[in-house]
Amino acid sequence: MSKNAESIERLLDVMRTLRAPDGCPWDREQTHESIKGDLIEEAYEVLDAIESGDASMLEEELGDLLLQVVFHSQIAAEDGEFEFHQVADGISDKLIRRHPHVFDEVIVSDSGEVLKNWDAIKKQEKKDANKKVSIVSGIPKHLPALQKAHQVQKRAARAGFDWDKIEDVFDKLHEEIEELKEAIASENEAEIRDELGDLLFSVVNVSRYLGHNPEEILRHNIDKFVSRFQYVEDRVHESGRDFPEYTLEELDAFWNEAKRAE
Q: Looking at residue 80, which CATH number applies to its domain?
A: 1.10.287.1080
Confidence band for 70, pLDDT divided at 50, 70 and 90: very high
193 found inside a domain: yes
Confidence band for 209, pLDDT divided at 50, 70 and 90: very high
CA 219 – CA 175 distance, rounded (Å): 26
> How many distinct structural domains can be found in the chain?
4
Residue 161 sits in the same domain as residue 221: no
CA 65 – CA 44 distance, rounded (Å): 10
Residue 57 sits in the same domain as residue 12: yes
Q: Which residues span the domain enclosing 120?
A: 98-133
Task: List pLDDT tens digits, range 211-238.
Answer: 999 999 999 999 999 999 999 999 999 9
Residue 221 sits in the same domain as residue 208: no
CA 196 – CA 9 distance, rounded (Å): 51
CA Rg, the chain, in Å? Answer: 25
139 found inside a domain: no
196 burial (CB, 10 Å; 0-12 / 13-18 / 19+) is middle
Confidence band for 138, pLDDT divided at 50, 70 and 90: confident
57 found inside a domain: yes
140 found inside a domain: no
58 found inside a domain: yes
- Category of 187 on φ-ψ map: left (φ > 0), alpha (ψ -120 to 50) or beta: left
Distance separating the N- and C-terminal Cα atoms of the chain: 51
pLDDT reported for residue 140: 86
Residue 70 sits in the same domain as residue 123: no
Residue 241 sits in the same domain as residue 208: no
Residue 34 sits in the same domain as residue 76: yes
Residue 208 sits in the same domain as residue 221: no
Residue 104 sits in the same domain as residue 66: no
8 found inside a domain: yes
Averaged pLDDT for residues 72-77: 98
Provide the residue type at 22 as one letter.
Answer: D
Quote the mean pLDDT of the chain: 94
How many Cα neighbours within 13 Å face the side chain of 35?
A: 20
Residue 224 sits in the same domain as residue 192: no
Torsion of CA 62, 66, 71, 77, to 10 degrees: 180
138 found inside a domain: no
pTM score, whole prediction: 0.71
